[in-house]
Amino acid sequence: MISSWLLRIALRNGMKPQSFCKLLWPNRSFWNHSIDRYASQDLLEDLSRCTATPLQTLQKHSLAAYKGILFADLIRNGNTPWVLPLGIFHRRFRRTGLSFCPECLATGEPYFRRRWRLSLATLCLIHKRPLLDGCSVCHEPLQPHRIDMGSKNPYTSAAVFRCSACSFDLRSARSSTLTDLWLWKSESASDQFLTATPCEAARAMEYFSVLRHLLFMLTSRRSRLTPFRTLAASAIPSPLVESWKKDDETSLGFDAMRIDVRRVFIGAAYWLLEDWPRRFLDLACAARLRGSDLTRDFPSMPTSFAVVAANLPARQNELVLHQVMVP
């Protein structure tokens, strides 16, 4: 991740991140916005020239590398689908826009992975543990660029693993062990689309587009979708049912939810995709949804989803109540 990489370079040179960036780029404001989202081509070229790092390497580790796979474009003045919002205000993060795995930080040189900025990343696929999205002591969002605030002496690069608010060692944070590997297997399969080749990009984009629309249907407060969401809560695997959230976080949108809430909803979406489209259509029919209920608010709907939606009658009086099939 560009911001984490830039942070480590500054600390290795014995400088604070803000001072380091001001020295190299006096006319740029780096930490007033998301560096990873604002990493334009000219900025990457500057970084490449100043640090003797191949431009291709920087591009590979930027969020822009997901363009055409995860989202159509990286929005700089607004929220990009699947990218966790940081809620930056006066260089402070107001939202939990960066996740982490304690074991990953404890292994080798600590750094923050690009994947941890994505809302669909809720588990560590290496250690098979849930990711965390804040300090377990003070509950503040992670703000690595502020780890030396208030200190006259800059920290070393090893201090990346400390909470900027209370200095807690994030490597010591407790993350529960997964009791059911089903969710890990599902997220691992989904994660493979993130490394799609140019020939596979269109298929990956279609997959994530459908996945996001399923999440919209599962979290939406539209009255027409309430029966669908209720039936989904009773049909998904028991480990997720026990944690199903019915609080006000659904009004925030999936990307802005806390990670434990996102984990439940994306697990439900994975369950629907596991036997696509049978499970989805069974729930849609039981909820008496119409084809228009599925396609509404889905402007970039792929043809494959339109074919699935066509299985539902256009008028409510044509609907036939089906039994929800639960494996």
Most confident of 40-49, 50-59, 74-83, 285-294: 285-294
Mean of the pLDDT values across residues 234-246?
63
pLDDT of the residue at 313: 82
pLDDT tens track for 127-152: 999 999 999 999 988 888 777 665 65
pTM equals: 0.87
Return d(Cα 34, Cα 154) in angstroms, integer.
22
Return d(Cα 95, Cα 200) in angstroms, integer.
33
Half-sphere exposure in the Cβ direction for 5 (13 Å, CA): 18
- CA–CA distance from 27 to each of 14, 107, 127, 223 (Å)? 22, 36, 42, 50
Q: Which has more pLDDT, 93 or 248?
A: 93
Q: What is the mean pLDDT of the chain?
A: 84
**Continuous H helices in 176-258:** 182-191, 201-219, 226-235, 238-241
pLDDT of the residue at 319: 44
pLDDT of the residue at 34: 76
pLDDT of the residue at 137: 92
Give the number of other CB atoms < 10 A from CB of residue 3: 24
Query: Which pairs count as long-range contacts for 241-250, CB under 8 Å and 24+ apart, including other chains?
Result: 250/219, 250/220, 250/221
pLDDT tens track for 246-262: 555 556 789 999 998 89
pLDDT surpassing 80 at residue 153: no
pLDDT of the residue at 212: 95
Residue 41: which pLDDT band, with cuts at 50, 70 and 90?
A: confident
pLDDT of the residue at 159: 74
Angle at 116 between CA 26 and CA 197, to 5 degrees: 95
Mean of the pLDDT values across residues 1-14?
84
Beta bridge partners of 145: none
Q: Which has more pLDDT, 243 or 184?
A: 184
pLDDT surpassing 50 at residue 163: yes
- Comparing 141-155, 166-180, 201-215, the range with the smallest average pLDDT is 141-155
Are 84 and 98 in contact, with CB atoms under 8 Å apart?
Answer: yes
pLDDT surpassing 70 at residue 326: no
